[in-house]
């Protein structure tokens, strides 16, 4: 999608995504079907790819990070299913397919989302048992688990979703918009790289650099999404554009205008690039990724 | 509620329930308010009390089990909030109060449920950091965490909720009814005692006995609830009775008749009692609790 290494990691995630789901029996098969439906609907797999590449960057084995990588995609997917529900954004289309509740009904979509969030934790917790006799590795895994739990919770992603709800249909301050973006999209992206780094028992300095990189990347990514919602077409986006305006959502273009928003994307991208360029060749994957994401609006 | 020891443990849970919630800032205050609303709406606190008493029974310190006890109540509360939503059971009243979405709207109720589930894991995972230098205790805590994650997931509570959806408005087999009861209510009750036992690094035999006890208790508890829905009044129940019949839910009385259902409650209660009577004085709390729960329909 963005370069060969990205495609390789994305492929790895796609191959393993369903294999870590907890086994369930036929009697609750429809919720499982609904879970798989949304997991199979495509997507960039940005969060798991970031987790795997951060782990590798810090000297870890990417295969050992796969359960956590898949778990973070379960969390992202659950958040999309719940976000699309009629009582939230009420969207019919996602990644070019009918949204989960359009296919399975609101009741099953709700449960499928709940089950994906719970499964994410089940998968990561089960993974800890592999390291019961390797104290240092076990502690690093617990730190990674803690990082993801924080990023997806009400000090992270859910805080952003809630602030997003609060700010609809009313004047939103710049401070509030920043808060929404940093939490709703940013928190889980930052958690992805931090968890990846923790899994490799990274040192603090590298952890800090990766965090700053991910924060800038996440912000650039979200503003790009806001711009694409204004100017993109349904085929490329996989969903109907113009929804943010309809719903009077707080977005960068709405608050700062289109030009300043593009400027902000470039600025955050350069910030991200600068941090990882200091690692020279070793940081090139992250540099290329930041540039490629910004190119979506060039 | 059932005896002095039960009341003491319930009080302990009530006192600490809000204190373990992750701190959040004002910008997402409404979701926090919605979370607290449902946590404050009363309830028997059966699951956390079972967890604490199982921990104590196995020689553990109940104070050290408090974070897990509160976490399991967060999970139970989230499941009630989501169950009450219009797309699920569409209930207006719960524990004598308007349901969460009636007060905060469906969107905030959805997020409050998500946030409570996520918070449960955050609290338990954060708790692990206290035992980083006590290997045996840490491993026991991870086992307890794994137990709760399984019990609340799509091999536990969610499996039961899904099977419950599948069986509405159609003929439900006895096998399916058993499956629904064992999972929807039973799984988290069994997980509560097992997690409590794990936190105290219990031996396998005691763990097995507590599990069998909780399975019988959970079944008796659910059938009692089914019966109360038929014969109870709104004031005692805190919700409108007769909803199961309206929604053509699969229940014990509907499938086996009232007399056979009462018989089943007594039989499961005696089974639970017999297991814990073998521990003589030490098991008396569990014996009394099983008898007291069955008395709700006497």
Binary contact (B142, A128; C-beta < 8 A)? yes
ipTM: 0.96
Binary contact (A27, B163; C-beta < 8 A)? yes
- B84 to chain A: nearest residue by CA? A107
Q: Which of B27, B35, B135 sits opposite A159 (nearest CB)?
A: B27
Check pLDDT > 80 for residue A50: yes
Share of chain A above pLDDT 90, in %: 79
Q: How far apart are CA B270 and CA B205, in angstroms?
A: 20
**Strand A93-94 to B97-98 pairing:** unpaired
Q: Which of A24, A128, A142 sits opposite B154 (nearest CB)?
A: A24
- From residue A183, alpha-carbon distances to A139, A174, A219, A249, B117 in Å are 26, 14, 10, 15, 18
Q: How far apart are CA A11 and CA A87, in angstroms?
A: 34
Gyration radius of chain A's alpha carbons? 19
Q: How far apart are CA A232 and CA A240, in angstroms?
A: 9
Contacts of A100 (CB under 8 A, 6+ apart): A34, A37, A38, A81, A84, A94, A108, A109, A112, A113
Mean pLDDT of chain A: 93
Q: How far apart are CA A91 and CA A101, in angstroms?
A: 9
pLDDT for B1 equals: 61
Q: Give φ, ψ of A94 to 5 degrees.
A: -150, 125
Interval A184-195 mean pLDDT? 96
Binary contact (B146, A129; C-beta < 8 A)? yes
- From residue A141, alpha-carbon distances to A36, A134, B31, B90, B127 in Å are 26, 11, 30, 40, 14
- B184: nearest Cα among B243, B251, B114, B93: B251
| A49 close to A6: Cβ distance less than 8 angstroms | yes
CATH of the domain at A240: 1.10.600.10
Task: Write out chain B residues lying below 8 Å of A126, CB-based.
Answer: 146
With tokens 């009582």, the residue in question is A87
- B174: nearest Cα among B103, B260, B241: B260
∠ CA A74-A75-A80, nearest 5°, is 95
User: How close does chain A come to B226, measured CA to CA in Å?
Assistant: 21
Mutate one of A87, A124, A163 to test the B interface: name it (highest B CB count within 10 A). A87
In the numeric block, which tokens belong to residue B73?
């109540």
Task: Write out chain A residues lying below 8 Å of B85, CB-based.
Answer: 87, 110
Q: How far apart are CA B59 and CA B201, in angstroms?
A: 9
Mutate one of A122, A128, A136, A146 to test the B interface: name it (highest B CB count within 10 A). A122
Check pLDDT > 80 for residue A24: no
Share of chain A above pLDDT 70, in %: 100
Q: Which residues pair with A94 in a beta bridge?
A: A97
- A90 to chain B: nearest residue by CA? B107
The count of domains in chain B is 1
Q: What is the pLDDT along chain B (298 residues), one digit of tens a residue?
A: 678 999 999 999 999 999 999 887 777 788 999 999 999 998 999 999 999 999 999 999 999 999 999 999 999 999 999 999 999 999 999 988 999 999 999 999 999 999 999 999 999 999 999 999 999 999 999 999 999 999 999 999 999 999 988 888 788 898 999 999 999 999 999 999 999 999 999 999 999 999 999 999 999 999 999 999 888 777 777 777 777 777 778 889 989 999 999 999 999 999 999 999 999 999 999 999 999 999 987 7
Binary contact (A122, B150; C-beta < 8 A)? yes
Binary contact (B118, A158; C-beta < 8 A)? yes
Binary contact (B154, A22; C-beta < 8 A)? yes
Binary contact (A126, B142; C-beta < 8 A)? no
Q: Which residues pair with A93 in a beta bridge?
A: A98
In the numeric block, which tokens belong to residue A83?
């976000």
Binary contact (B154, A115; C-beta < 8 A)? yes
Answer whether 0.90 is exceeded by the pTM.
Answer: yes
Q: Give φ, ψ of B87 to 5 degrees.
A: -75, -10
pLDDT for A1 equals: 61
Task: Write out chain A residues lying below 8 Å of B138, CB-based.
Answer: 138
- A293: nearest Cα among A275, A272, A278: A272
| B58 close to B101: Cβ distance less than 8 angstroms | no
Run of H or E including B260: helix B258-277
∠ CA B141-B143-B146, nearest 5°, is 110
Q: Which of B121, B122, B161 sits opposite A111 (nearest CB)?
A: B161
Mutate one of A111, A154, A156, A247 to test the B interface: name it (highest B CB count within 10 A). A154
Q: How far apart are CA A49 and CA A1, in angstroms?
A: 11
SS (H, E, C) chain A: CCCHHHHHHHHHHHHHCCCCCCCCCHHHHHHHHHHHHHHCCCCCCHHHHHHHHHHHHCCCCHHHHHHHHHHHHHHHHHHHHHHHCCCCCCCCEECCEECHHHHHHHHHHHHHHHHHHHHHHHHHHHHHHHHCCCHHHHHHHHHHHHHHHHHHCCCCHHHHHHHHHHHCCCCCCHHHHHHHHHHHHHHHHHHHHHHHHHHCCCCHHHHHHHHHHHHHHHHHHHHHHHHHHHHCCHHHHCCCCCHHHHCCCCCHHHHHCHHHHHHHHHHHHHHHHHHHHCCHHHHHHHHHHHHHHHHHHC
Phi-psi domain of B97 (left: phi exceeds 0; alpha: psi -120 through 50; beta: other): beta
Q: How far apart are CA B89 and CA A267, in angstroms?
A: 49
Contacts of B92 (CB under 8 A, 6+ apart): B98, B99, B102, B240
Mutate one of A18, A77, A114, A247 to test the B interface: name it (highest B CB count within 10 A). A114
- B79 to chain A: nearest residue by CA? A114
∠ CA A204-A180-A93, nearest 5°, is 110
Concatenated DSSP letters of B207-232: HHHHHHHHHHHHHHHHHHHHHHHHH-
User: How close does chain B come to A78, measured CA to CA in Å?
Assistant: 10
∠ CA B82-A30-B91, nearest 5°, is 25
Interval A63-77 mean pLDDT? 98
The tens digit of pLDDT for each residue in A90-140 reads 999 998 899 999 999 999 999 999 999 999 999 999 999 999 999 999 999
**Residue A89 lies in domain:** 4-297
Interval A247-267 mean pLDDT? 90
User: How close does chain A come to B190, measured CA to CA in Å?
Assistant: 17
Q: Which residues pair with A110 in a beta bridge?
A: none
| A159 close to A186: Cβ distance less than 8 angstroms | no
Q: How far apart are CA A115 and CA B73, in angstroms?
A: 18
């Amino acid at each position: 999608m963005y370069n060969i290494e990205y495609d390789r990691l994305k492929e790895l995630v796609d191959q393993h995504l369903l294999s870590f789901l907890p086994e369930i029996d036929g009697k609750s098969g429809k919720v499982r079907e609904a879970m798989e439906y949304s997991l199979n609907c495509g997507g960039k797999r940005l969060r798991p790819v970031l987790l795997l590449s951060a782990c590798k960057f810090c000297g870890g084995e990417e295969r050992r990070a796969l359960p956590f990588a898949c778990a973070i995609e379960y969390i992202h997917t659950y958040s999309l299913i719940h976000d699309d529900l009629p009582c939230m954004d009420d969207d019919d289309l996602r990644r070019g397919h009918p949204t989960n509740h359009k296919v399975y009904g609101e009741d099953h979509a709700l449960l499928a989302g709940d089950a994906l969030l719970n499964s994410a934790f089940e998968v990561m917790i089960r993974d800890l048992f592999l390291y019961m006799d390797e104290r240092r590795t076990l502690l690093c895994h617990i730190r990674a688990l803690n990082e993801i739990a924080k990023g997806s919770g009400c000090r992270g992603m859910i805080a952003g979703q809630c602030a997003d709800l609060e700010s609809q249909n009313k004047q939103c301050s710049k401070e509030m918009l920043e808060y929404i973006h940093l939490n709703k999209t940013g928190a889980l992206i930052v958690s992805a790289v931090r968890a990846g780094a923790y899994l490799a028992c990274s040192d603090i300095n590298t952890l800090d650099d990766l965090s700053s990189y991910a924060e800038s990347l996440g912000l650039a990514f979200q503003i790009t999404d806001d711009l694409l919602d204004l100017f993109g077409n349904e085929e490329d986006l996989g969903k109907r554009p113009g929804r943010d305006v309809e719903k009077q959502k707080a977005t960068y273009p709405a608050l700062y205008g289109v030009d300043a928003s593009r400027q902000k994307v470039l600025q955050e991208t350069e910030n991200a690039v600068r941090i990882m360029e200091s690692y020279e060749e070793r940081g090139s994957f992250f540099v290329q990724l930041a540039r490629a994401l910004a190119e979506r609006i060039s």
